[in-house]
Chains A and B, each alone.
Chain A
Amino acid sequence: MTTQLEGAPEEVVTKSFVREISLKPFGFDGSLALITLDNGLDFNRPNTFGVASLQSLDAAITEAASRKPSAIAITGKPFIFAAGADLTGLAQLASHEQAVAIGKLGHDVFRRLGEMDIPTFAFINGLALGGGLEVGLHCKYRTMATTAMAGLPEVFLGLVPGWGGAYLLPKLIGPERAVQVIVLNPLNNNTMLRAKDALALGVVDAVFEPADFLERSAAFAASVLKGSKKIERADYSDDPNWDKAIATGKAAAQKKYGGADIAAPRKALELIAASRTTSASTGFDAEDQTLADLTMSDELRASLYAFNLIQKKRKKVEGAPKPALARKVAKVGIVGAGLMASQIAWIMLRNLKCPVVMTDLDQERVDKGVAWVHAEIDKLVEKKRMAPEAAGRLKSLVSGSTDQGAYAGSDFIVEAIFEELSLKQELFRKLEKIVSPECVLATNTSSLMAGDMARGLEHPERVIGFHFFNPVAVMPLLEIARTTETNDETTATAIAVGKELKKTMVITKDSPGFLVNRLLTRFMGEITDAIDEGTPIEVADNSMRAIGFPMTPFELLGLVGPGVMLHVTESFNRDLGPRYRVSPTMQRIVKEGVRAFYIKGEDGKYAPNPKAMELVEKGNKPSTSEQVRERALRAMTEEARMMLDEGVVSSAAEMDLGMLLGAGWPLVLGGILPYLDRIGISEAVCGKRFHPRGVASLPQTL
């Protein structure tokens, strides 16, 4: 079928087995040839489709058909249907021709299930993603286990559902629903479909509980064959909502990527739109071409690199000491009861389920902090995501005090007080008198050095940077900053706590801003500089839209708060050097107590805040949007290189991981460094790339 394709030697092959099942006990005088997809590994390693796996399925379909059954069905191994294309193999394709061939191979195999002269069924017993769901879409009918999840995450990864999904799904469920599944869900944190959603959308025809899913699915097949169960299919070709659906998809992509033109959602929408009138063969050919174009792009390679990086680093913390060195944490202290501190208290309480003590300067603040945590607990109970007794337990564990003596017996204290070194130094000195010498003293500082806070302590080895991102419960990154004196026990304990909090961690050197804040601030500084020089705010602020950041710089500023941002910049200016310029505009904004550059108008849209506009420095050297972007990216490149040279993080990958998870930058940028390599700016600024070709980009040979 496709001679130039061979399975990658390391492909984990999903084998397809065939067995014939009598449907007589289910009331139909005939048989079902049941294909099972099984890669022989447990559910942690889902079935995938590489070349050899597709060939195995092809052979199984041939065998199934040769038995002349009444119908053919396909199902998965326990808990897993199939998780789609073998991404490792995809990232190794070396030519456009090969990429087209793999697309075509998938189509050629899958479409056999759609073009049989006997009914075909997919029994989606477990996770069905991407090509896994697509193989099911080729079948004429689908059942799904109530506990299974399904989705087409291709657009999230920078691909399109190119094994029939983009063509078949709109025809099956109509344009609006197809756009939801193919575009909106992937862009919305890669949301998957639960069985009941899939049923409501028409993606599947019946849903059964997992305890006897296969038996009930066989009974369903029998009733369809017998004709006692009729599944009606609508014709959506005259649906009035095609244009509206496509527009909705476009708007979602715009919003997600800040207006950048990202290929995957655009191409997916084109394929969906075309499916209305084209034949299956034309539709599938278009999918092959699109898939190949995307596969052979640096953007996709960067996405896959970033996706794999996130998966890998979720479990493994680079440079972590032996986990066995971690000490038990049975009581936690949080210093401060402000919003950040309260969020940290809540995530600690929720995951460690141990006593958590919060303190602040006065009772009112303390009460407010504890009340905030209580309110979070109540929300979960209200949503029925926590049992009342579990809520009662957690509430009884969190307490507040104005007396730091309440920290006695703590094993782990996180400070989240005002960013003033002397205050933090004084705090740690006081805490040392209250807690044991082993109690970890962690700082959530965003701009200071943990080592400075440790200076003069009797036990400086227990001080460590432990930096969260706002909102704490949502942002997956935690920076762990070791000072020159931090010992392995302290680091291991901090990492163990971070794992309990389900955070992905990056170990950084103890330097101002650690990883993410430093890079973000440097880039923000260029935007504010451009404004101070006379660039209109909208021009400067929108300059980064083209690359796909989730927020514009000033949207980010609005989130962080101008006061904090200015304070951090001043601190960096002092500690890192004058390249972190303090903007007079920012100084005035903070002085006058203006909270944001944009305010929400009555129409719900954001517009420049007139109060802020009055305070903007009136320079006479305005830049164009391109110029602002160029300088911001150059500055970022320079800073990234400096940070790697200084050893702020151990590798370019760690830096990418930080920006992906700490700043929420999109996969398609690969974090950030693959993007800087891609546009040539890293070579222009530093004379070399961050990543060798082929790591997060197409290989050199192309």
Chain B
Amino acid sequence: MSRSVVLVDAVRSPFGKAGSLYAETRADDIMVRVLRGLIERNPLLNLSEIDDVAIAAATQTGDQGMNIGRSVALLAGLPNTVPGYSIDRWCAGAMTAVTTISGAIAMGAYDLAIAGGVEHMGNHPIGHLFDPNPRYLAEKIVETDALAMGNTAERLHDLFPHLTRERADKYALNSQLKTAKAYENGGIQRDLIPVATRSSEFGWGIATADEPPRPTTTLEALSALKTPFRAAGRVSAGNSAGLNDGATAALLASEDRALELGMPIKARLVTFAFAGVEPEIMGYGPVPSTHKALKKAGLDISDIGLFEINEAFAIQVLSFLDHFGIEDDDPRVNLYGGAIAVGHPLASSGVRLMLNLARGFEEHPEVRFGLTTMCIGLGMGGSVIWENPNWNGEE
């Protein structure tokens, strides 16, 4: 009964540094603009045909509360007949919004729907309002490290001592350079929706580019950065994603409906999987989730021609690549760089991976399959395998 699900389009806001670009702009306002930008780019979309709007946020209070899915649908001016809901799987929020919506499309409940995510880490600092159950520690369900993401990254370094700080810093530098190059070529800007930014100090602005990238950074500078999570650690601000604000949205459809409407198809969903690992090494999550997804798809890692892996931490990417025998600087991985350069507004990042992959598919018709994957706090990974609609049949 399963129907083919396709990604019609995906867009995002420029990402900001927490407390900076969007310091006086609300999370829901950013999300609304991204939604409207997505709609504007897809004039074939009849708004009343949208079956649902699933929006992720890791913190669902304040400007990310009130059922943000429904709230932003109303604020964006979608017909009030269009429903919406909020969704949370921490960093994999938007990814889960996509997979959940895709599930509904695949089983025939939906034809067209929007999935996205938003995180304003300036308004909602990570850990703010957390109230971990005391049983976690009292009963040793997890170790303290599991609750602070930087510590989980250090634990990965502990687990894989050959994945050194130097390799992490090199990886980070490469991410910055790839992003800088992508910006030069206009690759990234294509999918950015300009967002008006309020500032009572400087007046209105319009965000048109990511704020976090540091295109001029050097290995030397990176290696000099402190390791805030532990003394003599390896995880630094330079080889991790920052604290960021931003939003993403994707338009998904059943392939049949998309074709009927004459909509473009950017990627075809093959399958997806989520999997758990020890919370203390949450960054390793993409390894089991990718194995699971590949197995379901009947594919091998060698079938994957493009990888979009979230760079919460360089070590987390390195451990994934190392596991699958892929070089640190393999050109198939993160074509435009990743979260280390552009930022990681938690629940929004999943769709950013997909829109980058979709651009990669356009540029690489020789590639048939691509993977978007990310690690998730409390020990999980998510992997979504996509097929390139532009595949030219070559290997």
Supposing A211-B36, A211-B76, A215-B195 touch, asked if A21 and B200 sit within 8 A by C-beta, the answer is no
User: Does B368 sit within 8 A of A, measured CB to CB?
Assistant: no
Tell me the minimal C-beta distance from B228 to chain A in angstroms: 33
User: Does A405 sit within 8 A of B, measured CB to CB?
Assistant: no
User: Does A212 sit within 8 A of B, measured CB to CB?
Assistant: yes
User: Does A549 sit within 8 A of B, measured CB to CB?
Assistant: no
Residues of B at the A interface (CB closer than 8 Å) are 32-33, 36-37, 75-77, 189, 192-196, 198-206, 208
Residues of A3-31 contacting chain B, CB below 8 A: 16-19, 21-22, 24-26
In the complex, are the beta carbons of A211 and B194 less than 8 A apart?
A: no
Q: A212: which of B33, B198, B205, B208 is its contact (CB, 8 Å)?
A: B33
Instruction: Give Cα A169–Cα B320 distance, bound, in whole angstroms.
Output: 66
User: Does A432 sit within 8 A of B, measured CB to CB?
Assistant: no
Instruction: Give Cα A574–Cα B195 distance, bound, in whole angstroms.
Output: 72
Q: Which residues of B contact A215 (CB under 8 A)?
A: 33, 193-196, 206
Q: Which residues of B contact A275 (CB under 8 A)?
A: none
In the complex, are the beta carbons of B203 and A18 less than 8 A apart?
A: yes
User: Does A357 sit within 8 A of B, measured CB to CB?
Assistant: no
Instruction: Give Cα A534–Cα B77 distance, bound, in whole angstroms.
Output: 68
Q: A214: which of B32, B196, B199, B202 is its contact (CB, 8 Å)?
A: B196
Tell me the minimal C-beta distance from B77 to chain A in angstroms: 6
Tell me the minimal C-beta distance from A689 to chain B in angstroms: 45
Q: B33: which of A19, A22, A36, A211 is its contact (CB, 8 Å)?
A: A211
Q: Which residues of B contact A36 (CB under 8 A)?
A: 202-204
Task: Report the nearest B residue to A20, measured CB to CB.
Answer: B205
Residues of A80-118 contacting chain B, CB below 8 A: none
Supposing A211-B32, A211-B33, A211-B76 touch, asked if A17 and B202 sit within 8 A by C-beta, the answer is yes
Instruction: Give Cα A24–Cα B189 distance, bound, in whole angstroms.
Output: 10
The count of chain A contact residues (Cβ–Cβ below 8 Å) is 24
In the complex, are the beta carbons of A212 and B36 less than 8 A apart?
A: yes
In the complex, are the beta carbons of B204 and A214 less than 8 A apart?
A: yes
Q: A218: which of B189, B200, B206 is its contact (CB, 8 Å)?
A: B206
Supposing A17-B202, A209-B77, A212-B33 touch, asked if A22 and B208 sit within 8 A by C-beta, the answer is yes
Instruction: Give Cα A150–Cα B203 distance, bound, in whole angstroms.
Output: 22
Q: B192: which of A16, A19, A25, A211 is its contact (CB, 8 Å)?
A: A25
Interface centre among B36, B77, B193, B206 (most CB of A within 10 A): B206
Tell me the minimal C-beta distance from A76 to chain B in angstroms: 9
In the complex, are the beta carbons of B206 and A214 less than 8 A apart?
A: yes
Instruction: Give Cα A22–Cα B194 distance, bound, in whole angstroms.
Output: 10
In the complex, are the beta carbons of B200 and A19 less than 8 A apart?
A: no
User: Does A570 sit within 8 A of B, measured CB to CB?
Assistant: no
In the complex, are the beta carbons of B189 and A25 less than 8 A apart?
A: yes
Instruction: Give Cα A75–Cα B196 distance, bound, in whole angstroms.
Output: 12
Tell me the minimal C-beta distance from A207 to chain B in angstroms: 14
Task: Report the nearest B residue to A75, measured CB to CB.
Answer: B204
In the complex, are the beta carbons of B194 and A25 less than 8 A apart?
A: yes
Task: Report the nearest B residue to A22, measured CB to CB.
Answer: B208
Q: Which residues of B contact A38 (CB under 8 A)?
A: 200, 203
Q: Which residues of A contact B77 (CB under 8 A)?
A: 209, 211
Q: Which residues of B contact A16 (CB under 8 A)?
A: 203
Q: Which residues of A contact B200 (CB under 8 A)?
A: 38, 40, 77
Tell me the minimal C-beta distance from A254 to chain B in angstroms: 45
Instruction: Give Cα A40–Cα B33 distance, bound, in whole angstroms.
Output: 24
Tell me the minimal C-beta distance from B28 to chain A in angstroms: 11
Tell me the minimal C-beta distance from B83 to chain A in angstroms: 19
Q: Which residues of B contact A24 (CB under 8 A)?
A: 189, 208
Q: Which residues of B contact A26 (CB under 8 A)?
A: 194
Tell me the minimal C-beta distance from A77 to chain B in angstroms: 8
Beyond the given A16-B203, A17-B202, could you list 20 further A-B residue pairs with CB under 8 A, ordered by the A residue number? Answer: A17-B199, A17-B201, A19-B202, A19-B205, A21-B208, A34-B204, A34-B206, A36-B202, A36-B204, A38-B203, A40-B200, A75-B204, A78-B198, A211-B75, A212-B32, A214-B204, A215-B194, A215-B196, A218-B194, A218-B206
Q: A19: which of B32, B189, B193, B203 is its contact (CB, 8 Å)?
A: B203
Supposing A212-B196, A215-B194 touch, asked if A25 and B205 sit within 8 A by C-beta, the answer is no
User: Does A294 sit within 8 A of B, measured CB to CB?
Assistant: no
Chosen A-B contacts, 29 in total, with CB atoms closer than 8 Å, are: A17-B199, A17-B202, A17-B203, A18-B203, A19-B204, A21-B205, A21-B208, A24-B189, A24-B208, A25-B189, A25-B208, A34-B204, A35-B203, A36-B202, A36-B204, A38-B203, A211-B33, A211-B36, A211-B76, A212-B33, A212-B37, A212-B196, A214-B196, A214-B206, A215-B33, A215-B195, A215-B196, A218-B194, A218-B206
Q: Which residues of B contact A213 (CB under 8 A)?
A: 196
Tell me the minimal C-beta distance from A99 to chain B in angstroms: 31
Q: Which residues of A contact B33 (CB under 8 A)?
A: 211-212, 215
Q: Which residues of A contact B206 (CB under 8 A)?
A: 21, 34, 214-215, 218
Tell me the minimal C-beta distance from B32 to chain A in angstroms: 6
Task: Report the nearest B residue to A213, measured CB to CB.
Answer: B196
Q: Which residues of B contact A78 (CB under 8 A)?
A: 198
Instruction: Give Cα A212–Cα B208 distance, bound, in whole angstroms.
Output: 14
- Interface pairs A-B: 8 shortest CB-CB: A36-B203, A17-B203, A214-B196, A25-B208, A36-B204, A19-B205, A21-B206, A215-B194
Instruction: Give Cα A311–Cα B377 distance, bound, in whole angstroms.
Output: 55
Instruction: Give Cα A215–Cα B196 distance, bound, in whole angstroms.
Output: 6
Q: Which residues of A contact B32 (CB under 8 A)?
A: 211-212
Contact string against B for A residues 199-239, beta-carbon threshold 8 Å, 1 for contact and 0 otherwise: 00000000001011111001000000000000000000000
Instruction: Give Cα A100–Cα B195 distance, bound, in whole angstroms.
Output: 42
Tell me the minimal C-beta distance from B236 to chain A in angstroms: 31
Q: Which residues of A contact B208 (CB under 8 A)?
A: 21-22, 24-25
Tell me the minimal C-beta distance from B187 to chain A in angstroms: 14
Q: Which residues of A contact B204 (CB under 8 A)?
A: 19, 34, 36, 75, 214
Q: Which residues of B contact A25 (CB under 8 A)?
A: 189, 192, 194, 208
Instruction: Give Cα A646–Cα B198 distance, bound, in whole angstroms.
Output: 56
Instruction: Give Cα A35–Cα B205 distance, bound, in whole angstroms.
Output: 10
Instruction: Give Cα A75–Cα B203 distance, bound, in whole angstroms.
Output: 9
Instruction: Give Cα A211–Cα B204 distance, bound, in whole angstroms.
Output: 14
Instruction: Give Cα A25–Cα B76 distance, bound, in whole angstroms.
Output: 21
Task: Report the nearest B residue to A25, measured CB to CB.
Answer: B208
Q: Which residues of B contact A214 (CB under 8 A)?
A: 196, 204, 206
Q: Which residues of A contact B193 (CB under 8 A)?
A: 215
Tell me the minimal C-beta distance from A128 to chain B in angstroms: 16
Q: A34: which of B36, B198, B205 is its contact (CB, 8 Å)?
A: B205
Interface centre among B33, B195, B198, B204 (most CB of A within 10 A): B204
Instruction: Give Cα A513–Cα B198 distance, bound, in whole angstroms.
Output: 54
Task: Report the nearest A residue to B189, measured CB to CB.
Answer: A25
Task: Report the nearest A residue to B186, measured CB to CB.
Answer: A24
Task: Report the nearest A residue to B196, measured CB to CB.
Answer: A214
Residues of A232-275 contacting chain B, CB below 8 A: none
Tell me the minimal C-beta distance from A122 to chain B in angstroms: 13
Instruction: Give Cα A36–Cα B202 distance, bound, in whole angstroms.
Output: 8
Instruction: Give Cα A18–Cα B204 distance, bound, in whole angstroms.
Output: 8
Instruction: Give Cα A35–Cα B200 distance, bound, in whole angstroms.
Output: 12
Tell me the minimal C-beta distance from B341 to chain A in angstroms: 19
Instruction: Give Cα A218–Cα B194 distance, bound, in whole angstroms.
Output: 10
Tell me the minimal C-beta distance from A211 to chain B in angstroms: 6
Instruction: Give Cα A289–Cα B76 distance, bound, in whole angstroms.
Output: 48
